[in-house]
Amino acid sequence: MHERSLVQTLLNQVQQVVDADGGGVVKEIQVQVGDLSGVEPLLFESAFAELVTEWFSQECRLVLDIVPVKAECRLCGQCFEVQDYEFLCPACGTGPVEVIQGDQVKLMSITVDSEKSVSGAKS
C-alpha cells in the first residue's frame, strides 16, 4: 500500500506550490494516474480523503484522470494502445517497444481560492 506515501508526497508538493504562489485555500487538486503507474485509484482516493484534512480541508476535491498505456515499437515505429499488458507490437509482432504514456503519476493543476490564507497543518 504505497498510495499513502504517494499522497503525502503529493500534498507536500501542493503546499509548496500554493505557498510559493502567495497562499490561499486549496479547493481542487488534479492528478494524472497512468494505468502502468502501479497506483490503484480507489486506494489513492481513500488515502487522499484520510490525509487531506491534515494539510487542507475536507472541501478540497481530488480529480483523478486515468491515462491508458501507449507504446511505440522501436523497430517499426508503430504507436499503439497497450491492452491487457501485452507489449508486443501489433504491426511487426517483435518489439521491443517503449512506453510513451501511462506510467506517470503527475500533479497537473491546483485550484485555489485566494481570499483566505491556507490552514497548513503540516509543513
Partner 1 sequence: MNTRVLSVRRDIQAEQKADAAAERERLGRRGTLVINLLSSPGSGKTSLLEATARHWAGRRSMAVLVGDLETDRDAQRLAPLVPVAQLTTGGACHLELPLVQRGLQALGDPAVDFLFIENVGNLVCPASHDLAEHLRVVLISTTEGDDKPGKYPKMFRTSQAMVVTKQDLLPHVPFSIEAVTEDALKIQPALKVLTTCAIDNRGIQEWCEFLEQQYQEKIESVYEPAVNR
**Could you list the residues that contact partner 1 (CB under 8 A)?**
1-2, 5-6, 9-10, 13, 17-18, 21, 24, 27, 31, 36-39, 85-88, 94-97, 104-115
CB of 117 to partner 1, least distance (A): 13
- Nearer CB in complex with partner 1: 74/121: 74
CB of 55 to partner 1, least distance (A): 14
Q: What cell was used for 42?
A: 480507489
- Nearer CB in complex with partner 1: 53/94: 94
Q: What is the CA radius of gyration of the chain?
A: 18
Which residue's C-alpha cell is 494502445? 81
- Alpha carbons 98 and 1: distance in angstroms, whole number: 27
- Nearer CB in complex with partner 1: 52/110: 110
- Alpha carbons 84 and 95: distance in angstroms, whole number: 16
Query: 93 — alpha (psi -120 to 50), left (phi > 0) or beta?
Result: left
Q: Which residues contact 50 (CB under 8 A, 6 or more apart)?
A: none
- Nearer CB in complex with partner 1: 80/87: 87
CB of 121 to partner 1, least distance (A): 20
CB of 6 to partner 1, least distance (A): 6
